[in-house]
Structure 1
Amino acid sequence: MRIVRLANFVTVHTGGLRTALRELGRGYQAAGHEAVLVVPGRRYSDKVTTQGRVITLPSAPLPRTGGYRVLAGRRELIKLLDGLEPDRIEVSDRTTLRWTGDWARRRGVRSMMVSHESLAGLLGVWGMPKRDALADRFNRRTAEAFDTIVCTTAFAAEEFRRIGVPNLVEVPLGVDLDLFNPGAMDAAVRSRYARPDELLLVYCSRLSAAKRPELAVDTVAALRNGKVPAVLVMAGDGTRRTALAYRGARLPVRFAGHISERPAVAALLASADVVLSPGPVETFGLATLEAMACGTPVVVNEQSALPEVVGDGGVSVPGTAEAFADAVSRLMERPRLERRAAARAQAERYGWPESVEGFLRAHEAIPEPATGPLAGLIRPAVPSTSYVDGVPCPRRIAATEEKPREAGADEAGAARYA
């Protein structure tokens, strides 16, 4: 089966989304399917990678977004999709790519939209009035456009449930439990940022308003006001970098920037005492899960989806500096081995193989189990046959058919987008 995945807002700084796309693609390939990922970028490219074929279409960056790009050329994307002849499409953007659900329906291709954020939550962060009404209207149209809507937590699914979306599925994401493990702790990394008598806190996420990175800075200030010798490392980059530097000018806040090497990320997370996740609209929080996999407890915003993910691996509190500082202190009162073991045990509940299996069931690529942990996870979706104006529209390619790429396809594509 050929699964074509479309994603926007993917940059070198979008760690969580890039990780999810990569791990799902690898899982699809390992399960015997053909994974194709289409993303925007600076220039055209077509590469075969461990996550399958990755096609990059040229796109200009959106102003004031920190380098985000979108697949804006609808005519070119339609030509590409028609040429790829997918059996399934999986879309990770419910705004500019919602039209691809209609494209798939007209061609008899099953479609899935993956909701990586809470629209109502984002509208709230942006200060939009009547955010729930706006989100409901938009989400209803999205659910009508796609055969299946996938959310990774109950928090993310809630805004679809309240409008009675019938084609809703919950599938948790996963974590690389081998790469992110307590053994990744590195004394040299720790000593680079903190003295032996200092408490090392880490914020690992994009420096954008929706993530509330200023709360991490304010937490350090609250701790130090309480005579706790805490220091903070901010691993990530984004539009808030300059403002945060001013905010933490008199505090021990170190900006590590975006860390591209995943082993280096694991070393930093494993070497921290506590990881802070202050974002109020996080719908899963892969960096938080990676921290727990490294044996590092976390403090998260109780308004987000993270309380249902962290369990005993951390503490969920209101989004204030005082509450976060108090939670850090409470975690540090627990015996070190106990708090680190609890964090690792919680992370071990989330593996990528189980997540891949859940996504493939949502794609109807494998049958739903009658028993076991995944039983009942995937709700029945709409019938496989799509209809246009009441007329059944059969799929053009059988699910078991493998169609080879035409010779010279890469060269032709490059010429088209040069």
Structure 2
Amino acid sequence: MRIVRLANFVTPHTGGLRTALRNLGEGYQRAGHEAVLVVPGRERSDKMTSQGRVITLPSAPLPRTGGYRVMTGRRDLAKLLDSLEPDRIEVSDRTTLRWTGSWARQRGVGSIMVSHESLAGLLGVWGMPKREQLADKYNLRTSEFFDQIVCTTSFAAAEFRRIGAPNLIEVPLGVDLDAFHPSRADGAVRARYARPDEVLVAFCSRLSGVKKPELAVDALAVLRNDKVPAVLAVAGDGVRRAALAYRAARLPVRFAGHISDRSTMAALLASADVVVAPGPVETFGLAALEALACGTPVVVNESSALPEVVGDAGVAVPGTAEAFAQGVRTLLERPEAERRAAARARAEQFGWQTAVDGFLRAHRALPEVAVAGVPAARQRPAAVLRPAVPRPDQAFTGWFG
């Protein structure tokens, strides 16, 4: 079966989505399917990778978004889809690519939309009034465009459950339990950020408004004022970088920039004492799960999906600096061996193979017996045919199509 995956807002710095796309594509390939990924970029390219064929289409960057690009040429993308002749499409952009659900329905191609964020939550971050009503209206239309809506947590699924979407399924994502492991802890890496008598707190995320990186800095200030010898390592880059550096001017904050190498990231996560994830609209939080896999507990925002991901291996707190500082202290009060063992045990419940199987089940693409000499991986299942939100600011004109 040929599964064509479409994703906007993918850059070399979009860790979570990029990681999920890679691992799912590799899983599809291992299962004997043909995976094709189409993403925006600076220039056109077409190459084979471990996750299958990856096609990059030239796309203009969106202003004030930290380098995000969007494929806006519907005619060209539709022609490409026609030429690829997919059996299924998987769309990881519920705004600018929603129209592809209609393209698939018209051609009898099965389709799923992966909801990677809470629309109501994002509208709230952008200060939109009546955000739940707007989200409900938009989500209802989205559920009608696609055969399946896939959400990775109950948090993400809640807004579709609220409108009674009949085609909703939940499939948790996974974590690479080998690449992210407690054995990745490195004394030299730790020494780069903290002295032996200091507490190393890590924040690993894109530096954008929705991630609330300032909460990590402000929580450090509270800890220092309370005489906790904490330092903060910030792994990530983005539009908030300069403002965050100004905010942290008098604090022991070490900016590591974007870390693309997984082994380097794993070494930082495994060497930290605590990781903080203050984003209020995170719908899964792969960085938090990678921290747990490295044996490092996480303080998360109770407003996000992360409490259901980290479970007892972390602490969920309100989105204030004082609450995050208290969360760090609470985790440090637990014996180190106990808190690290609990973190690793929690992560081991989230393997990528389980996630891949769940997505293939949504695609109706689990291995089947070949018939009439046709390989099962290229049999086309019967498609299930199913019968503008205002822009948040000038940078996002025309998102919702």
Q: TM-score, normalised by structure 2?
A: 0.92
**Contact 1:235/1:259, CA 8 A, preserved across alignment:** yes
Q: Which residue pairs with 2:30 in the alignment?
A: 30
Q: Which residue pairs with 1:227 in the alignment?
A: 227
Point out 4+ residue stretches in structure 1 off by more than 3 angstroms: 383-389
Q: Which residue pairs with 2:277 in the alignment?
A: 277
Aligned 1:75-94 pairs, distance under 5 A? 75-94=75-94
Structure 1: unaligned runs, 5 residues or longer:
369-382, 390-418
Q: Residue 325 of structure 1 aligns to a residue in which SS?
A: helix
Q: Which residue pairs with 2:205 in the alignment?
A: 205
Q: Residue 72 of structure 2 aligns to a residue in which SS?
A: coil
Aligned 1:324-343 pairs, distance under 5 A? 324-343=324-343
**Contact 1:46/1:54, CA 8 A, preserved across alignment:** yes
Q: Which residue pairs with 1:288 in the alignment?
A: 288
Q: Which residue pairs with 2:68 in the alignment?
A: 68
Paired amino acid for 1:322: E
Q: Residue 114 of structure 1 aligns to a residue in which SS?
A: strand
**TM-superposed deviation, 1:33:** 0.2
Q: Distance in 2 between matches of 1:308 and 1:40?
A: 32
Q: Distance in 1 between matches of 2:364 and 2:327?
A: 43
Aligned residues: 375
Post-superposition Cα deviations, 1:267-324, rounded to whole Å, max 9, x if no partner, equal: 0000000000000000000000000000001000001000000012111111111111
Q: Which residue pairs with 1:402 in the alignment?
A: none
Q: Residue 322 of structure 2 aligns to a residue in which SS?
A: helix
Q: Which residue pairs with 1:179 in the alignment?
A: 179
Q: 1:366 to 1:217 in 2, by over 3 A?
A: same
Q: Which residue pairs with 1:113 in the alignment?
A: 113
Paired amino acid for 1:168: L
Q: Distance in 2 between matches of 1:92 and 1:290?
A: 21
Paired amino acid for 1:48: M
Q: Residue 60 of structure 1 aligns to a residue in which SS?
A: coil
Percent of residue pairs bearing the same amino acid type: 77
Q: Which residue pairs with 1:166 in the alignment?
A: 166
Q: Residue 265 of structure 2 aligns to a residue in which SS?
A: helix
**TM-superposed deviation, 1:330:** 1.2
Q: Which residue pairs with 1:150 in the alignment?
A: 150
Paired amino acid for 1:129: P
Q: Distance in 2 between matches of 1:386 and 1:289?
A: 34
Q: 1:388 to 1:161 in 2, by over 3 A?
A: closer
Paired amino acid for 1:310: V
Q: Distance in 2 between matches of 1:44 and 1:142?
A: 29
Q: Which residue pairs with 1:374 in the alignment?
A: none
**TM-superposed deviation, 1:17:** 0.2
Q: Distance in 1 between matches of 2:384 and 2:194?
A: 59
**Contact 1:198/1:229, CA 8 A, preserved across alignment:** yes
Q: TM-score, normalised by structure 1?
A: 0.88
Q: Distance in 2 between matches of 1:32 and 1:59?
A: 31
**TM-superposed deviation, 1:327:** 1.2
Structure 2: unaligned runs, 5 residues or longer:
369-380, 388-401
Q: Which residue pairs with 1:408 in the alignment?
A: none
Paired amino acid for 2:165: V
**TM-superposed deviation, 1:388:** 8.9
Q: Residue 350 of structure 2 aligns to a residue in which SS?
A: coil
**Contact 2:144/2:386, CA 8 A, preserved across alignment:** no
**Contact 2:147/2:386, CA 8 A, preserved across alignment:** no
Paired amino acid for 1:45: S
**TM-superposed deviation, 1:220:** 0.3
2:216 paired with 1:216: yes
Q: Residue 40 of structure 2 aligns to a residue in which SS?
A: strand
Q: Residue 256 of structure 2 aligns to a residue in which SS?
A: strand
Q: Distance in 2 between matches of 1:242 and 1:87?
A: 45
Q: Distance in 2 between matches of 1:324 and 1:63?
A: 32
Q: Distance in 1 between matches of 2:60 and 2:96?
A: 14
**Contact 1:60/1:69, CA 8 A, preserved across alignment:** yes
Q: Residue 342 of structure 2 aligns to a residue in which SS?
A: helix
**Contact 2:234/2:256, CA 8 A, preserved across alignment:** yes
Q: Residue 255 of structure 1 aligns to a residue in which SS?
A: strand
Q: Which residue pairs with 2:98 in the alignment?
A: 98
Q: Distance in 2 between matches of 1:366 and 1:313?
A: 32
Q: Which residue pairs with 2:195 in the alignment?
A: 195
